Amino acid sequence: MAAAAALRCCFPGSAVGGGFIRPSSSRRGRHAAAVVAPPPSSLGHRTRVDFPILHQEFDGAKLVYFDNGATSQKPYSVMKTLDEYYRSYNSNVHRGIHALSAKATDAYEGARRKVANFVNAADSREIVFTRNATEAINLVAYSWGLSNIKQGDEILLTVAEHHSAIVPWQFVSQKTGATLKYVGLTKEEVPDIEQLKGLLSNKTKIVVVHHVSNVLGSMLPIEEIVTWSKGVGAKVLVDACQSVPHMPVDVQKLGADFLVASSHKMCGPTGVGFMHGTFEMLSSMEPFLGGGEMIADVFNDKSTYAEPPSRFEAGTPAIGEAIGLGAAIDYLSCIGMDQIHEYEKELATYLYESLISVPNVLVYGPAPSQTDHRAPLCSFNVENVHPTDIAEILDLQHGVAIRSGHHCAQILHRTLGINASARASLHFYNTKEEVDVFINALKDTIHFLTSQH
């Protein structure tokens, strides 16, 4: 009951916090309050009612949405916030003195403060809004990388990085003559941290690593990597797209120079993401794009630039989307990221153990243990069955949505000796009952596909 009580803080009309004693409008002589039955026990049951997209059927099968690694669903409160912005105070920010512009600016900058608090940034000026995490990484590559990396320098990555964290640094390497170095996997199929440590040298200028792998479900020890990297004078960029939505992330504790994440994976709108960098670091960097908002003064032959974060937010930003991200953070914070993380660890173990019990299924990445927890996702293959066939039949015949392909991680898939995999990725609004539906549907799908040969 204590866990349920922690959910009582949310929003009018939200199911989070629902199922408790509600005030009655009855007058004296009648019951003062109506007792409503408590909600089902799991966090997934208590929150999924807030996500309207989850309550639909396909040919009589209830939707099971297990593609959260690609994008998350959005609660009512986020959609209401977006609708209110466009209906009530749609206006450009920072540039107008009228009431609508002032309200939009307050909400936009309020969202920046919410992001800063969410990741425990020292100052909201350390949060730069971008189009997505991909743009944030490109910002670092072009603004910091091209100014600080030269021929003979080294850029250190792991083979498990998302393409968004690899391709921009390939551009930098091609333009500067720097060398890309990759950390391989251990026999447990996690990035080899000892190899990473051994590859660090005074030639290393930046280390680019994920916090949680979108394929392996493993988590890297960022604090240790930062300590080792700083020991040789290297910067660290962390791709936190798969961690910020699922667990508490403290940028001051992690100590990385840059950290990026996307709104759409954390129950917020598409079209906006953010980058964190220390104010000192951001102040030392040149702009990424030129235009309005990022300038201080414009002369015929040159311009001077605004202080961060405006320096990196050229043109009209994604105002409604940023405000919607702020609403998503309100929602997640109301539940509590510690509670989300604890529930998802349980869900992750249940998913992994359920999957490995299916004959001829191979799950990639480390097994969960008491000390090493997996993210709530599993990439897998079925012997002699193509993952795209699995995903298609699960969708068409069972209403189960998973992902198939290389998950923007072709280097990792080649390292694993495969071309593609299927991936089931969960969020806090999913349940163990949905995992059971998925597993039964997978067994039926395997039988259907193998019996055809």
127: which strand partners? 276
* Helices assigned H by DSSP within 14-123: 43-47, 76-88, 99-118
Residue 404, C-beta contacts closer than 8 angstroms, at least 6 positions apart:
387, 388, 390, 391, 392, 420, 421, 422, 423
Q: CA-to-CA distance for 372 and 212, rounded, in angstroms? A: 12
- 399: tokens are 């209403």
Count of H-run helices and E-run strands, the chain:
16, 19
Active-site entry in 241, 267, 334, 408: 408
Q: Give the tokens for residue 178.
A: 């720097």
* 3-class state of residue 120 by DSSP: coil
Burial 31-46 (b: 16+ CB within 10 A, else e): eeeeeeeebeebbbbb
Distances (CA, A) of 306 to 94, 131, 279, 296: 13, 19, 13, 5
Q: What is the dihedral of CA 198, 202, 208, 211, to 10 degrees?
A: 50
| Cα torsion angle, 326, 330, 335, 339, sign | positive
Distance CA 287, CA 306 (A): 9
Structure tokens at 366: 């480390």
CB 235 within 8 A of CB 257: yes
- A 10 A CB-CB count for 210 gives 26
Active site residue 408: yes
- Cα–Cα distance measured from residue 252 to residue 237, given in angstroms and rounded to the nearest whole number: 14
Residue 57's CB: how many other CB atoms inside 10 A? 9
Farthest CA pair distance, the chain = 84
Stretch (H or E) spanning 400? strand 400-401
- Three-state SS at 75: coil
Q: Which residues face 235 on adjacent strands?
A: 206
Active site residues: 408
